[in-house]
Amino acid sequence: MEAKTIHIDEYIITREPFYQSTGDEIAIFEAAYANHLPVLLKGPTGCGKTRFMEYMAWRLRRPLITVSCHDDLTASDLVGRYLVRGGETVWIDGPLTQAVRAGGICYLDEVVEARKDTMVVIHPLADDRRVLPIEKLGTLVEAPAEFCLSISYNPGYQSVLKDLKQSTRQRFVALEFDYPGPGPGLEAEIVAAESGLEREMAARLVQFAGMTRNLKGGGLEEGASTRLLVHAAKLIASGVSPVSACRGAIAQALTDDPEMLAAVNELSASLF
């Protein structure tokens, strides 16, 4: 089967993604969007930040461009660059420029991972100027009203070197995300809805996730995220035994330490 190629302007999410709101984050995002304010999403891995962005893009009916940042991501990777084609140089827009031109939502995932020079292009877009300077073309692209910049960052495991600078973070409206709290089975509901698993089993999985989150700092770097729970739930829903599903989708994903693995596996064996 051939994969479908979609042009950016047409990339609009048409089916409603499943998103379970845990607070007033939707209202805040909509208000920020209406007021042309950029948004910062904080929270641990796999707690639903990216899903929230997809949901908001669907809700606001704007194309969503997600860039996963890594240590080698430079400003030109975002803005664009010249390529040589048949003896001539041709300018190619980067994802950020494309999002600005199309009036879409640009979501920079794990932005602290990117190189420092990316801030040069993010700052003028993130304050009231809302322009994107393209140094190599010598132009400024003014963002239309529909454009929205949002970034995410995980305060949990960044090193000191990779902290978000005050000058950056103070430009954004911040939304905090966490694993759905101990409230009445919210997380179990999400897991059940995402995987099609029955409620009771989903609740057990959430209980198991709670145990691994207790181990955070006591041998695990991070507890099981909601995403991992959904993975395990999907495996269980297609007939894998719960203990094997937890071992494969959760325990092995969390750690390589044999002792910790044994402990996590014993916990799941106790629960199911």
Partner 1 sequence: MIAARHALSAPRIEALLDELLEVEFTFRQTADAAARLATLDADTQHFMIDWIKRVASTNLELGYQVACRAVAALDAMPRQMIEEWALRAMDVYDRKGLRPALLVIEGLDAFASEQRARARGAVLERCEGVLQGVLHGLSGRALKVEAAARIYTDSEKIFLPQLLAQLPSEAENFSLYKVSAVFQWARTRFGGFSALRRAGVLEGEATPGLLALFHRLEGLRLEGILSRELPGLYRELTLLGRNPAVAVEPPSQWAPWRSRLMEAGVSADDVLALARRQLGRLHGWRAPLYYGEPDREALRACMEARIEREKGRFRVALAEIQSELRGDHPRGAPLRFGQRPVGERGDPQEAQIEILLDDQPLALPPEVQRTLGSIIQDLDALPQEYLSAAGAGEYDAEREGEERCAGESVWSGTYHEEGASLYPEWDYRRKHYRKEWCAMREIDVEPVHDGFAEQTLVKYGGLVKHLRKSFEALRDEERLLRRQPHGDGVDIDALVEALAEMRLGREMSDRLFTRMHRSERNIAAAFMVDMSGSTKGWINDAEREALVLLCEALESLGDRYAIYGFSSNTRKRCELFRIKRFDEPYGAGVRARISGIRPRDYTRMGFAIRHLTRLLNETDARTRILITLSDGKPDDYDNYRGVYGIEDTRRALIEARRARVHPYCITIDELARDYLPHLYGPAAYTVLNEVSALPLKVSDIYRRLTS
**Cα–Cα distance between 62 and 33 in angstroms, integer?**
11
**Cα–Cα distance between 226 and 178 in angstroms, integer?**
10
Burial (CB count <10 Å: 0-12, 13-18, 19+), residue 161: exposed
| Number of residues forming the site for partner 1 (CB under 8 A) | 30
**Cα–Cα distance between 13 and 3 in angstroms, integer?**
17
- 27 near partner 1 (CB under 8 A): no
**Cα–Cα distance between 215 and 221 in angstroms, integer?**
8
Q: How far is the CB of 81 from partner 1 (least distance, A)?
A: 6
- 70 near partner 1 (CB under 8 A): no
**Cα–Cα distance between 261 and 254 in angstroms, integer?**
8
Q: How far is the CB of 259 from partner 1 (least distance, A)?
A: 4
The residue (of 168 and 268) whose beta carbon lies closer to partner 1 is 268
CA-based torsion, 153, 157, 163, 169: positive or negative: positive
Q: Which region, judged by CB under 8 A, interacts with partner 1, from 5-13, 51-59, 162-170, 204-212?
A: 204-212
Map the footprint of partner 1 across residues 221-250, applying CB under 8 A: 243
- 47 near partner 1 (CB under 8 A): no
Residues 73-92, one symbol each (x = binds partner 1 by CB under 8 A, - = not), give -xxx----xx-x--x-x---
- 266 near partner 1 (CB under 8 A): yes
- 121 near partner 1 (CB under 8 A): no
- Look up tokens 């984050």; give the residue: 25
**What are 223's two structure tokens?**
């507890």
Sites of contact with partner 1 (CB under 8 A): 74-76, 81-82, 84, 87, 89, 136, 182, 210-212, 214-215, 218-219, 243, 259-260, 262-264, 266-272
